[in-house]
């Protein structure tokens, strides 16, 4: 048996996504910038995907811009806003628990002379809106706060933040990294006063190497990729028709049954959490009320066992988990999120992330727990002196 519990890292494509990707690679393979029929047919896939995503977010199709994935979307939102607004100010506010695709661009801007304010969080990984309000000034050009933390599943109060910014500092752009939120939570950028929203395809059973950035029509943003002028001159480069077509199909299917899928994942999360706590000397990170966090992420420290040791032990039994974010697992400095929430060194060293999807079965949870009950006492005997 196999238990794939690393869906926050990537998900398996839906069958219909794989089908449309294949079709657009072998049959409708035209370049959407071409003027002939093949090009027009290819362009229709782009329009269909933009329309599907716009319906889900309740925004305009022209506000959806396709990218190579979440990292590019985040980089574009940050560097594009900084470039377009630097004459107005060089102050940017973010949080201490952002993904590397936001944290690293912020560090680069800091080296370029921008003032970066990093908000602290509670022990549950949640930003205090009052601290953010106090940090805002007229020369703040951007606020960037993720919606769902990729490591511990905390949900940030983005609607409250967005409403305050729009009311008191309407020229300040508000960017939300929704890469772990889209498809799991209902997101309405207009209602939540979000100007820029980043999404990645492979987190929602779509293809890798594709995503989108929602850009509110009022937003002032510069391109960061120049060339042939595709996507209204905002993001040049030949459009990734197979990826974009697959992304549209994945988004439509996932969001059609979002609430039912979320309930399924919450039940898996609760079942796993109960079993983990039964192992003894285990800390669950994130919201103490599991249902106040994202449905698909559960982070636990199994004290006394290094995360990498447990990960590879489980891998030998076809159980796949993660030691934090897949994108930061090779960083020597450790998890910024775990440091920000005040996790102890033993907790940080033993932190493992389990993550689910609508395709995850209860049997996978039970299989993982069965093996954990067997290997944890054994590993603790070897590692404790």
Active site residues: 327
Which of 334, 343, 336 lies closest to 97, judged by CA?
336
Structure tokens at 71: 């990292």
Between strands 115-119 and 351-355, the pairing is unpaired
Q: State the Cα–Cα distance between residues 158 and 198, nearest whole angstrom.
A: 14
Angle formed by the axes of helices 362-383 and 307-315, nearest 10°:
130
Task: Give the C-alpha separation, 347 to 327, whole Å.
Answer: 20
Please report where in the chains the tokens 């794939």 appear, as a residue.
4
315, HSE (Cβ side, Cα atoms, 13 Å):
11
Q: Judging by beta carbons within 10 Å of its beta carbon (0-12, 13-18, 19+), is residue 130 exposed, middle or buried?
A: exposed
- B/e letters for 88-113, b = 16+ CB within 10 Å, e = fewer, are ebbbbbbbbbbbbbbbbbbeebeeee
Q: Tokens standing for 266?
A: 């919450």
What is the three-class DSSP state of 66? strand
How would you classify the pairing of strands 64-67 and 211-215? antiparallel
CA distance 106 to 119: 13
From the list 102, 168, 175, the residue with the least C-alpha distance to 138 is 168
């Amino acid at each position: 048996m196999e238990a794939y519990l690393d869906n926050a890292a990537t998900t398996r494509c839906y069958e219909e996504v794989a089908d449309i990707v294949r079709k657009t690679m072998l049959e409708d393979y035209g370049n959407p910038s071409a003027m002939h029929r093949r090009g027009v047919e290819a362009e229709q896939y782009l329009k269909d995907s933009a329309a599907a995503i716009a319906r889900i977010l309740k925004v305009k199709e022209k506000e959806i811009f396709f990218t190579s994935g979440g990292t590019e979307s985040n980089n574009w939102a940050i560097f594009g806003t900084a470039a377009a607004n630097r004459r107005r100010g060089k102050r940017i506010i973010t949080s201490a628990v952002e993904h590397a695709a936001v944290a690293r661009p912020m560090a680069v801007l800091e080296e370029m002379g921008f003032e970066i304010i990093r908000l602290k969080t509670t022990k549950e990984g949640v930003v205090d809106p009052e601290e953010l309000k106090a940090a805002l000034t007229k020369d703040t050009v951007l606020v960037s706060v993720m919606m769902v933390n990729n490591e511990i599943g905390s949900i940030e109060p983005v609607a409250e933040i967005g409403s305050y910014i729009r009311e008191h500092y309407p020229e300040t752009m508000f960017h939300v990294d929704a890469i772990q939120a889209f498809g799991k939570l209902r997101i309405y950028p207009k209602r939540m006063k979000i100007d820029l929203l980043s999404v990645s395809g492979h987190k929602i059973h779509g293809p890798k190497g594709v995503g989108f950035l929602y850009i509110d029509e009022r937003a002032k943003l510069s391109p960061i990729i120049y060339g042939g002028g595709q996507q209204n001159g905002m993001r040049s480069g030949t459009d990734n028709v197979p990826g974009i077509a697959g992304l549209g199909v994945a988004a439509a299917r996932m969001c059609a049954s979002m609430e039912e899928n979320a309930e399924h994942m919450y039940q898996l999360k609760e079942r796993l959490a109960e079993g983990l706590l039964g192992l003894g000397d285990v800390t669950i990170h994130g919201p103490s009320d599991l249902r106040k966090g994202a449905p698909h992420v559960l982070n636990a420290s199994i004290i006394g066992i290094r995360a990498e040791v447990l990960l590879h032990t489980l891998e030998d039994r076809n159980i796949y988990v993660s030691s934090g974010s897949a994108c930061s697992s090779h960083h020597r400095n450790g998890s910024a999120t775990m440091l920000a929430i005040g996790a102890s060194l033993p907790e940080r060293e033993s932190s493992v992330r389990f993550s689910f999807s609508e395709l995850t079965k209860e049997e996978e949870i039970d299989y993982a727990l069965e093996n954990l009950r067997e290997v944890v006492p054994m590993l603790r005997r070897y590692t404790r002196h």
